[in-house]
Amino acid sequence: MADTLRRLFLYRVPGIRDRYERKRRENPGMGRVSAALYLLWLNAQYHLLLRRSLARPALIPPYEETAQPAGGSESALSRRESPEALAERLAAFDAVSFDVFDTLLLRPFSDPADLFYLVGMSLQYPDFRRIRIAAEQQAREEQFRRRGTREVTLEEIWAQVEAQTGIPREAGLQTEWEWERRCCCANPYMRRVFDRLLRRGKPLFALSDMYLGGARVRELLENAGFSGFADVLVSGDCGCSKSDGGLYRRLKERARGSLAHVGDNEQADGAQAKRHGLHPFLYPNVQRRGEPFRPHDMSAVTGSVYRGIVNARLHGGEAVYSREYEYGFACGGLFAAGYCRFIHAFAQARGIKKILFLSRDGALLRQVYCRMYPQEAGATAYAYWSRLAAVKLTAGCYRQEYFRRFLYHKANQGFSLRRILEGMELSGLLHPLCRAVGAGPEQELTHKNVENVKSYLTDAWDAVLETYRPQREAGRDYYRRLLSGCRSAAAVDIGWAGSGAVMLDCAVNRLWGLGCPVTGILAGTNAARSPEPDAAVPFLLNGKLVSYLFSEGENRDLWKLHDPAQGHNLYWELLLGAPEGSFRGFYPGKDGEPALRFGAPPAEPGRIREIHRGALDFVERLLAAEGRLGFALPISGRDAYAPMIPLESGKSRRDMAALEGLLDDAHIG
């Protein structure tokens, strides 16, 4: 009979099955009656109300398009009065009570139940999160049947867990409690409010609808710096809650006069507080405020911690941040931390002795790397190198790349022959070239004459290479000093073709004979939609290049999604690029020292520094969270890319356009 009903109501329509199973996954504590009613409701919509869209499978979309704040910064949506101003308003009351979790205390997760993943990890028990949620629901239902209240203690919950899993109650309970102690930390906004009220001698109370019990909650508060409460009232101890008004009645037995209450829940901390004679001050839940803007297509724990950190920062109310800062914080920090972990692991595995963070994209990455691995800072260097310098110095080895960058990429782009040769630093060949190709210096380089220009330069190749000889020698002196005593190195770059690292290896070993093989570490390779999608394949094949975010062999969905023509390369470069002019090359200097030349600096370096400040602040908060957790989170390339996916959709094009102007010319030379 049961199988017949399942076939009839659950399996017959794929879309109904998908929605029902997703509902059960998202609500593991849902009882059988509630689940059956939901299933009947889906069937009624399909069969009676003719909602045929339910026939389609409810597949998870391959790429998220989360909402983006309309104009301005996201943090402006949670603009609040300063903590000091709020404290002054609260000080007008005779006593103040605070909600605890998501108000005074924050966990580093977007969903507090994600802590149960860590409990399951410690207990080595599969599917523990779902089991723990269901056990709590069952404990509440049993308590309601026996005593007419749904308030339970941690001990009562673990009695259910023990019965279902066989995990000894005391051992499991202590494991969960230890993770709560590790994870809970002070909300910095509320800490300032609390400290100010405490200095004023105001009677303060903590109220919590929670199963941990008053002693444990007080310990969590004191560990976070919230010492001095007159009393801590917890639903698990009292058998009543804020939600049913009972805790407010208990509070009024202990506190006299006018009372204010601060909390995040509109019903429990707002309506119920007001109903019982308290003046409510709502502090909107930072996770709920930020949730619509965060990606969810990420691994469970890393994604939850990422969202928890970003939501707390942007919606905590401490400040309103610039769009640039938020871009760095929400997109750059996780990427930089994950990429640096990838770099570190690769260097350790390969025995790399020197890590060269290539200019300009390596500036922020080196800062992050040295913050994460301070003991290895001496094995790193910020190395000046660029496409322009590389193409000139290695022209004798990579002639086709030289012409591709200097000629083919600029054909039909409005560049005159004069500008082309000035960019190549071959002005002395301009007039002979013009005579040879029958064109004037101001004639545009086009697809019609580019082959003639190339032919002339090929015939004059010895003169071309001789022009760059002083630069090659200056570059040799610079890198000889940088790589002194080093027999293996890695060159870190954003990407994309990998030619920067490949050409540096060529210069270091084939041209200068320094005997130091250089491996290229890229954030990402040329993507499937690039003009040359397979340019790096030979070097990926032999291990001279490796990639973090994507390549033809890793995260192929991102490799196919990433589109340089839509500005996607620029979005990533914006996160890392140093606020300095592009590196032009090495030249002979005074006293035999190599001289480094640069292009004009970006017009708005302050905005670039804001992006970097946001990324660095995220890294600091990530490391602090990991310090409490006691382990480093794995940050896959797929996770690091996830926050950028919504910004790469067409819906965010206008928002990103305001940032694109921070970059200088995409062409070399």
| Average per-residue pLDDT for the chain | 93
Is residue 334 in a domain?
no
Q: What are the helix (H) ranges across 224-299?
A: 235-238, 246-254, 272-275, 286-290
Question: How many other CB atoms are there within 10 angstroms of residue 3's CB atom?
Answer: 8
Q: Please tell me the predicted confidence (pLDDT) of residue 319.
A: 94
Q: Mark whether 198 and 252 lie in a shared domain.
A: yes
Q: Please tell me the predicted confidence (pLDDT) of residue 655.
A: 72
Is residue 317 in a domain?
no
Q: For the chain, how are helix, strand and coil distributed in percent, rounded to 5? A: 55, 10, 35
Q: Once rounded to an integer, what is the mean pLDDT over residues 445-455? A: 96
- pLDDT greater than 90 at residue 6: no
Is residue 345 in a domain?
no
- For residue 22, what are its two tokens? 């997703």
Its domain, for residue 583, covers 352-598
Q: Mark whether 243 and 369 lie in a shared domain.
A: no
- pLDDT greater than 60 at residue 483: yes
Q: Mark whether 162 and 263 lie in a shared domain.
A: yes
Q: Mark whether 114 and 176 lie in a shared domain.
A: yes
For 409, residues 6+ apart whose C-beta sits below 8 A from its C-beta are: 667
| Contact in structure between 525 and 545 (CB atoms under 8 Å) | yes
| Contact in structure between 503 and 393 (CB atoms under 8 Å) | yes
Is residue 472 in a domain?
yes
Q: Once rounded to an integer, what is the mean pLDDT over residues 333-361? A: 97
Q: Mark whether 90 and 46 lie in a shared domain.
A: no
Pairwise pLDDT comparison (118 vs 668), residue with the higher score: 118
- Split at pLDDT 50, 70, 90, the class of 665 is low
Domain count, the chain: 3
Q: Mark whether 431 and 526 lie in a shared domain.
A: yes
Q: Once rounded to an integer, what is the mean pLDDT over residues 379-405? A: 96
Strands (E), 364-414: 380-383
Q: Once rounded to an integer, what is the mean pLDDT over residues 520-530? A: 96
- Split at pLDDT 50, 70, 90, the class of 136 is very high
Residues 213-264 pLDDT 10s: 999 999 999 999 999 999 999 999 999 999 999 999 999 999 999 999 999 9
Strands (E), 179-263: 185-186, 204-208, 231-234, 259-263
Exposed e or buried b per residue across 5-43, where buried means at least 16 C-beta atoms within 10 angstroms of its C-beta: eeeebeeebebbbbbbeeeeeeebbbeeeeeeebbeebb
Boundary (domain end) residue, out of 539, 574, 598: 598
CATH of the domain at 249: 3.40.50.1000
Pairwise pLDDT comparison (122 vs 6), residue with the higher score: 122
Q: Please tell me the predicted confidence (pLDDT) of residue 165.
A: 97
Q: What pTM does this model have?
A: 0.90
Q: Mark whether 491 and 590 lie in a shared domain.
A: yes
Q: Which residue has the tokens 């100010």?
A: 196
Is residue 661 in a domain?
no
- The full DSSP string for 130-148 is HHHHHHHHHHHHHHHHHHS
Which residues are registered as beta bridge partners of 522? 493, 547
Is residue 193 in a domain?
yes
Residue 146 CB-density burial (10 A; 0-12 exposed, 13-18 middle, 19+ buried): exposed
Is residue 617 in a domain?
no
Pairwise pLDDT comparison (13 vs 338), residue with the higher score: 338
Q: How far apart are CA 267 and CA 354, in angstroms?
A: 58
Q: Please tell me the predicted confidence (pLDDT) of residue 52.
A: 81
| Residue 260 per-residue DSSP state | E
Q: Mark whether 500 and 588 lie in a shared domain.
A: yes
Q: Please tell me the predicted confidence (pLDDT) of residue 12.
A: 81
Q: Once rounded to an integer, what is the mean pLDDT over residues 633-662? A: 85
Considering only CA atoms, give the Rg of the chain.
31
- Long-range contacts, 28-35 (Cβ 8 Å, 24+): 28/129, 28/130, 28/131, 28/133, 28/134, 28/137, 29/133, 29/134, 29/136, 29/137, 29/138, 30/137, 31/137, 31/141
Distances in Å between the alpha carbon of 163 and those of 134, 168, 301, 501?
12, 9, 27, 59
- pLDDT greater than 60 at residue 481: yes
Q: How far apart are CA 272 and CA 633, in angstroms?
A: 40
| Residue 618 per-residue DSSP state | H
Q: Mark whether 270 and 362 lie in a shared domain.
A: no
Q: Mark whether 451 and 502 lie in a shared domain.
A: yes
Q: Please tell me the predicted confidence (pLDDT) of residue 326.
A: 97
Boundary (domain end) residue, out of 228, 262, 286: 286
Boundary (domain end) residue, out of 538, 563, 598: 598
Q: Please tell me the predicted confidence (pLDDT) of residue 441.
A: 95
Q: Once rounded to an integer, what is the mean pLDDT over residues 614-622? A: 98
Smallest Cα–Cα separation from 614: which of 302, 365, 331? 331
SS3 label, residue 354: strand
Which residues are registered as beta bridge partners of 416? 444
Pairwise pLDDT comparison (190 vs 651), residue with the higher score: 190
- Split at pLDDT 50, 70, 90, the class of 596 is very high
Q: Please tell me the predicted confidence (pLDDT) of residue 46.
A: 83
Is residue 634 in a domain?
no
| Contact in structure between 94 and 203 (CB atoms under 8 Å) | yes
Q: Mark whether 498 and 431 lie in a shared domain.
A: yes
Q: Mark whether 494 and 570 lie in a shared domain.
A: yes
Distances in Å between the alpha carbon of 166 and those of 162, 169, 197, 480, 530?
5, 8, 47, 64, 55
- pLDDT greater than 60 at residue 394: yes
Q: How far apart are CA 45 and CA 37, in angstroms?
A: 12
- For residue 437, what are its two tokens? 């190709």
